[in-house]
Structure 1
Amino acid sequence: MSLADTQVLPGARRAPVHRPGSSPARSKAMQSKPGETSCAGPSEPRSGRARAPTPPGRAVGPGRLGDACEGARMTTSLNELAITGPLLTGLDLDGGRLRELLSLAARLKDGAAGEPAAEPLRGKSIALVLQRPAPRSRAAVETAAAELGAGTTVLSAASLRKPPAATARALSRDFDGIAYAGTDHDALVRLARAATVPVWNLGTDSWRPVQAVADILTMRELDGGDLAGIAFCFTGDARAPIAASLLTTGASLGMDVRIAAPVHMRPPAGVLSRVHDLARRSGARVLITTDARDAVAGAGFVHTAAWVTTDLPFHSLLARVQALVPYRVTGQLLRATGRTDARFMHGLPAVHDAESPVGRRLYRQFGLTGAEVTEAVYGSPQSVVVQQAANRVPAAKALLLSALAPAR
């Protein structure tokens, strides 16, 4: 593999790889290839020797995942401004806080939270600011709020004509929290900095924090072990917002995170720099490579996202298909994990057959059935996309409760 294919972050080392017939806990770390991106904790030598497993319950250091909000109330952030409120005193969400959030989500899902009030957020009102359609995130927040006793009001882009700062001040007077979905992440930043109530990021062109929490909750449920022992791989266009969210959240939690993507579709440099810092603090193992089979080896979860949309011109669609076909999730790629219990993950919607408009176009123009995943994988017992989708509700509940009822 050439230097053009790979990249190394300073002070990092290669994630351990599980091969067929070996035990994941005893797998040796392979020597890093020139230019491969990998990260590890600061106490580890820069060598190819096997990395000792992270002890269960290991403390995770604080990570910088966003900017503090100006004003009396500080912003704690999950992949850029997910929560504003008295969760931490002037600190961003770190790995320890993320673990608490995941534990709360799990308890809420199991119905074992033990709260004295059946509707702890009764009387609270949340504004859903939708600058773009976000049906799955919207449904999750509306359901979570209703089950906790809070009300929601949907506000479209057409109804919000003021600049973000003015909008934030107005909404802060009328609502107890603001949930935002849009294409412009900078607009969310400006809105959150001016708001005096909690702000949640339901998804922008840069981050998908609620989905990332739900996805890692799913991994936690299915693996049954400590997060530090979970290995997962994102394959495809790693510039996707969910790739950035999974990469940074996994690094903050000390997980074993792999990214397989073409060189020109790697995460942005700013994200990689942040991940390097998080991995050094938490002891996370991070690998970024162009080799999909290498990346999935030993992974318990293989994640991807949609490649294409119906409005792409032919030449752009052709270029994306040619670049991304080696990264589509097939039965062969899942077998390359070396694990019979490897699961497939996707935030939906997925192009897995020729039934959707995008699927029909891909089949008609390229003879390709499905895009980022085959129907055989998508419909298999290894697919956990339904569980992922369902977990958005407890993830949203945990976010709402953490900000609006912090004593819980």
Structure 2
Amino acid sequence: MAVNMKGKDLISIADLSLEEIYEIFDVAKSLKRKLYTGEEHHYLKGKTLGMIFSKPSTRTRISFETGIYQLGGYGMYFNQNDLQLGKSENIHDTAKVLSRYLDGIMIRTFSHQDVIDLAKYATIPVINGLTDLLHPCQVLSDLFTILEKRNKLQGLKLAYIGDGNNVAHSLLHGCSKVGMDIVVASPKGYEPKKEIVDNAIEIAKYMGSKVEIINDPFEAVKNADVVYTDVWASMGQEKEAEERRKVFKNYQVNLELIKHAKDDYLFMHCLPAHRGEEVIDEIIDSPNSIVFDEAENRLHVQKAIMVLIM
């Protein structure tokens, strides 16, 4: 391994160097090949990963639990009722105790500050499995998938259509880090957070790439290599779902919109998809769609992260 990441937390892609990102991709590629060829790869034999879920998830739980098992380790699942985290025991004490039992922690929760605090007080690596602010493991998997399909990242254009949410934030960090142009098209009032955008613009300067935040989805997808979307109402926003359907109705990825992208565009979605809302069946089921490759690669990339930091 060319880059030593042992003991490092993975909270945000913005914290990773370009070398560390490509080291994750190289290890993921190797682990994927080993899995496909049936070669044993028990790099984490005897290691235990604690998995804390304040937000339920299909892909995050299964990919991490399967991943640690395939690496020869053991995954322990905790829902919000299993731990006293932030209730009768503060994060400081919980982090110290878990550090005595486990070799790594993956947490998927609402508050980004909880992940920062957990990492601050834990003496073992902490992986951000998702917060309301960021979704780094998803976007590292997305970039790895694009790299597989296009053999490069720098110089490509990604258009993200929809809510300026945690996925959009991590895409801004990720694309700017690897030198991809990114255009985010969101309705007024639903754009990504300014501090994330400003951070991405600063990072992009070093790579010579562009970061744009606009309101016009048709302008965004013009000549795009990759078109990415996500649900209009994320977990915890169910009460806003009806209002958001009205606000986002012109942000659907459909046949009219997609014809402005490159002919060989790649369609991506972090899933689960609300078919007929943010994307139509004809797009998500088309030959251009790589959503299930993207979902599979969560397993390989997260295994790489665990190997490198644990």
Alignment correspondent of 1:291: 216
In structure 2, what is the equivalent of residue 118 of structure 1?
41
Deviation at 1:111, TM superposition (A): 2.5
Picking from 88, 98, 101, the partner of 2:24 is 101
For the 8 Å contact 1:328–1:372, the answer to whether it is kept is yes
Using a 3 Å threshold, how does the CA distance of structure 1 residues 158 and 80 change in structure 2: closer, same or farther? Answer: farther
- Corresponding position: 1:391 with 2:294: no
- Corresponding residue to 2:270 among 347, 364, 369: 347
Select the residue among 101, 122, 143 that pairs with 2:66.
Answer: 143
Structure showing the higher helix proportion among its residues: 2
Partner of 1:332: 256
Q: Distance in 2 between matches of 1:296 and 1:377?
A: 14
Whole-angstrom CA distance in 1 between matches of 2:156 and 2:253 = 19
Aligned to 1:235: 161
Asked whether 1:269 is paired with 2:194, we answer yes
Aligned to 2:110: 183
Counterpart CA distance in 2 for 1:262 and 1:390 is 31
| TM-superposed deviation, 1:135 | 2.1
State the TM-score, normalized to the length of structure 1.
0.69
Alpha-carbon offset, residue 141 of structure 1: 0.7
Quick one: distance in 1 between partners of 2:265 and 2:44?
38
Cα deviations across residues 211-241 of structure 1 (Å, max 9, x unaligned)? 11111111111112x2102211110011x11
The aligned residue for residue 210 of structure 1 is 137
Paired residue secondary structure (2:62) = helix
Aligned equivalents of 2:102, 2:226: Cα separation in 1:
39
Q: Are the counterparts in 2 of residues 126 and 150 from structure 1 also a CA contact under 8 Å? A: yes
User: Could you tell me whether the CA contact under 8 Å between 2:159 and 2:226 is conserved in 1?
Assistant: yes
Alpha-carbon distance in 1 for matches of 2:42, 2:238: 46
Report the Cα offset of residue 112 of structure 1: 9.1
1:263-290, CA deviations, whole angstroms, 9 ceiling, x for partnerless residues? 2111111101211211122222212211
Match of residue 320 from structure 1:
244
Residues 6-405 of structure 1 mapped to structure 2, 5 A cutoff: 75-79=8-12, 92-111=15-34, 118-161=41-84, 162-224=89-151, 226-238=152-164, 240-308=165-233, 312-313=238-239, 316-337=240-261, 339-352=262-275, 370-404=276-310
Q: Measured at CA, do residues 77 and 125 of structure 1 come closer, stay the same or move farther in structure 2, by a change above 3 Å? A: closer
User: One-letter code of the match for 1:173?
Assistant: R
Deviation at 1:113, TM superposition (A): 12
What letter is aligned with 1:341? D
> 1:312: how far off?
4.0
Distance 1:392 1:79, change over 3 A: same
Question: For residues 44 and 238 of structure 2, what CA distance do their matches in structure 1 show?
Answer: 43
CA contact (8 A) 1:344 1:377 kept: yes
Deviation at 1:188, TM superposition (A): 1.1
Aligned Cα root-mean-square deviation (Å): 2.2
Q: Aligned equivalents of 1:284 and 1:263: distance in 2?
A: 24
Report which of the two structures shows the higher radius of gyration computed on alpha carbons.
Answer: 1
The count of residues paired between Structure 1 and Structure 2 equals: 299
SS of 1:294's equivalent in the other structure is helix
Secondary structure at the aligned position of 1:142 is classed as helix
Runs of 5+ in structure 2 lacking a partner?
1-5
Deviation, structure 1 residue 334: 1.4
CA deviation string 1:187-211 (max 9, x = no partner): 1111110000011011111111111
Q: Distance in 2 between matches of 1:74 and 1:348?
A: 30
Is the alpha carbon distance of 1:113 and 1:343 closer, same or farther for their aligned partners in structure 2, counting shifts above 3 Å? closer
Contact 1:214 1:391 in 2 (8 A): yes
Q: Secondary structure of 2:119's match?
A: helix
Contact 1:258 1:286 in 2 (8 A): yes
SS across alignment from 1:229 = coil
Taking only the aligned residue pairs, the percentage that are identical comes to: 29
- Native 8 Å contact 1:107 1:113 kept in 2: no
Q: What secondary structure sits across from 1:287 in the alignment?
A: strand
Superposition deviation, residue 75 in structure 1: 4.6
Q: Tell me if the contact between 2:48 and 2:73 (Cα under 8 Å) persists in the aligned partners.
A: yes
Matched residue SS, 2:248:
helix
Could you state the TM-score of these two structures normalised by the residue count of structure 2?
0.90
1:392 counterpart letter in structure 2:
R
1:154–1:326: structure 2 CA closer, same or farther, 3 Å change rule?
Answer: same
The answer to whether the Cα contact below 8 Å between 2:11 and 2:115 also exists between their aligned partners in 1 is no
CA drift of 1:251 comes to 0.6
